[in-house]
Amino acid sequence: MAPPHFPDRPSSAPTAEGVKTIGGILTPELHFKELSGLEIHVLWREAEADSVDLGKGELATMLLTLGVKYNYGLPPGIVATQPQIAGFWRSLQLRDLALAHSCALGRETAWQQFMTRYRDALIQAAIGITSSAASGRELADSLYADLFGLTDRGGQRRSPLAYYSGRGSLIGFLRATLAQRNVDHHRRTVRETPLPTHELRAVSSGTTPTAETLSRLSQALSTTFGGLAAEDRFVLSAWFLDRRTLLEISRVIGVHEATVSRRLQRLTARLHEGLLESLQASGLSKAAAEEALATDPRDLDVNLRLLLQASQPGTFPEQGLDTDLRQT
């Protein structure tokens, strides 16, 4: 069968919200020339978009919108070249992307495919996340209803599938969505439960630190924690605050658990050294700095959790991820 003709430029301009304003520079229209009729035809075939009733124009609009939204995977401010643009599109999970967006548009054929491919996987993932068959099914069913687009916003059917970008797999996106809902539900429930009150026995310390020492120590802690890299702070948070295992942390950052263990050792040693240096730099002698480090943490007016998780300037310096973030 001869491939259907697709014009070099789609007849309808993309109208995705927020796309034209990102960065004020890149808009999908500017990149229409990059998406020639031949290329969209190839991508359309790779995405098997025909099988889910997704037209070439719709796919082209979607790809251009995603490209602008994520600046073709490049840091903000860098203008993507033709090979980089093509590489970005080809790196997407095109089949999953076409299916998800066709489902979000309410196409019956797409929903049939979605049911066949993901219904059981969704339930299994939910059961795995909740560790309970009943809760898992309940969670999966609630998400499934939302995916179908029952939520109505401004007279338009909105499905979470419309937020799928195709960078990861669709099943991974569904799993993350399930996890998100489960965590939110859990945190809502836990907030209503009173925390257990443990009265810790005070550790006898030789001398009570002076207010000046405590102030210096607080300052040193802020400086030392602030100088850590994002991944190091993530590892420390996951290990000390969330009490995750080495294996869990290693899976997330993609290294061996022995590497995580070594990194934790190195980080704690570096923190100790950093604190000593900061204290000595503030005018304490080495012995006094060592003594200050032996201070009972309960005497400190410092919240280590807040310190470790304090927002660093430049955490989100670019606007590229602004559209990824949702206010809660």
Partner 1 sequence: MKEQLHLDADSLNAFVEGVLSEHERAQCLAHLAECARCRDIVFLAQDVPVSPAVPIPISARRRWFQPIPLLAAAAVCVAIIGTWLYLRSGPVERPQELATRVAQAPLSPPDNRVEGPAPKPVIPEASASARLRSPELPTQNPPPAPVTSPEPPRTAPPPAPAETARSKDSSATQTATPPPLQPSAIVAQTEVVPAGISGTVTDPSGATIPQATIQLRQLAGNGTTNARTDRSGEFKFSGLAPGQYELQITAPGFRQTTQRVEVQPQQMAAVTARLEVGSMAETVQVEANASVVQTQSSQVGRSKKAVPLETPPLPSKLPTRIEVKSGKIMLSVDSAGALFFSGNSGKSWKAIKSPWTGKVVSLVTPPTLTQDSKALFQLTTDSGSVWLSQDGRRWYPVRPPR
- Give the binding site for partner 1 (CB under 8 A): 46, 70, 73-75, 87, 90-91, 128-129, 160, 163-165, 167-169, 172-173, 175-180, 182-184, 186-187, 230-231, 233-234, 236-238, 241-242, 244, 248, 251-252, 254-255, 308-312, 315-316, 318, 320-321, 324-328
DSSP per-residue letters across 287-323: HHHHHHHTS-GGGS---HHHHHTPPPTTSS-SSTTGG
Closest approach of partner 1 to the CB of residue 6, in Å: 20
- Residue closer to partner 1 by CB (options 7, 317) is 317
Amino acid at 16: A
Pair of tokens at residue 159 = 């499905």
Euclidean distance between CA atoms 294 and 208, whole angstroms: 11
State which residue, 105 or 307, has the beta carbon closest to partner 1.
Answer: 307
Q: Whole-number minimum distance, CB 175 to partner 1, in Å?
A: 5
User: ∠ CA(82), CA(88), CA(94), 5° rounding?
Assistant: 125
For residue 214 the two structure tokens come to: 């405590």
Rounded to a whole number of angstroms, the minimum distance from the CB of residue 306 to partner 1 is 10
Q: Which one, 150 or 176, has the nearer CB to partner 1?
A: 176
Give CA–CA dist 15/68, Å, rounded: 13
Give the span between the Cα atoms of 248 and 257, in whole angstroms: 8
The distance of closest approach from Cβ of residue 287 to partner 1 in the complex, given in angstroms and rounded to an integer, is 33
Residue among 213 and 250 whose Cβ is closer to partner 1: 250
Q: State the sign of the Cα–Cα–Cα–Cα dihedral 173, 176, 177, 178.
A: positive
* Single-letter amino acid, residue 253: I
CA neighbours closer than 13 Å in the CB half-sphere of residue 134: 0
Q: Which of 16, 162, 37 is nearest to 99 (CA)?
A: 162
- Give min distance, CB of 220 to partner 1, in A: 20
Please report how close the Cβ of residue 238 comes to partner 1 at its closest, in angstroms: 6
Nearer to partner 1, 21 or 311 (CB): 311
Contact present, 295 and 214 (Cβ < 8 Å): yes
Nearer to partner 1, 8 or 318 (CB): 318
CB of 248 or CB of 257, closer to partner 1: 248
What is the residue whose two structure tokens read 């980080």?
Answer: 267
Q: CA neighbours within 13 Å on the CB side: how many for 279?
A: 25
Smallest distance, partner 1 to C-beta of residue 249, A: 9
Closer of 73 and 288 to partner 1 (Cβ): 73
Minimum gap (Å) between residue 325 Cβ and partner 1 = 4
